[in-house]
Structure 1
């Protein structure tokens, strides 16, 4: 079974073109989790998502 990528994305208009194309047919082995920037940074740090659209400010402020 292929790895199912977990992608964190913000539900804002400026990010939709980056994410919506991933949800098209044929389905890709991925799961998109929607959240606010602070959630995405936390999820990325804790390993709840593999990649995320995160602001540089949120990422620079994380511990670790």
Structure 2
């Protein structure tokens, strides 16, 4: 998969990947995407739980 990004973003990603000890920029980007997806999934789950608690009258 290829994702177009500007040169300044590419440079920042490369620098951060090196700082964090990743073997490549691609590996770092993959970890970022995995983390963001997990956070989004958790937010959706949290919203469903909150709505359910509100529906039950707990909140």
TM-score range, shorter chain: under 0.3
Instruction: Give TM-score, length-normalised by structure 1.
Output: 0.26
* Higher CA-based Rg: 2
Between 1 and 2, higher relative CO (CA 8 Å, sep ≥ 6) is seen in 1
Q: Report which of the two has the higher share of strand.
A: 1
Q: Report which of the two has the higher share of helix.
A: 2
Instruction: Give TM-score, length-normalised by structure 2.
Output: 0.27
